[in-house]
Amino acid sequence: MTKSELIEKVVQSHTMLNPKTSEVLVNTVFDSIEEALKLGDKVEIRGFGSFTIRERLGREARNPKSGEVVRIQSKKTPFFKTGKELKERVNC
């Protein structure tokens, strides 16, 4: 499902919302999750899952073409952990 499909689903589910309002709603949710993660906060949506930031340590790797050793810097990456209820609903 794409973001535009999600917006359309919101419009279909709630007849009081027009497409523009639904788009603002979906964008606000995504922007809020992004902002919280940037601040280092955990975002937990009960029954769905949680978003956190994980630190990936720097390491040495090899360029497969030249064999040259390159240093990969440490970085932060978003991580999603599925909630128990979502796992159960998907696997029924």
Domains of the chain, first to last:
3-90 (4.10.520.10)
Phi and psi (nearest 5°) for 85? -65, -40
What pLDDT, on a 0 to 100 scale, did the predictor assign at position 15? 78
Q: Tens of pLDDT along 51-81? A: 999 999 999 999 999 999 999 999 999 999 9
pTM for the structure as a whole: 0.79
Distance between CA atoms of residues 32 and 83, nearest Å: 19
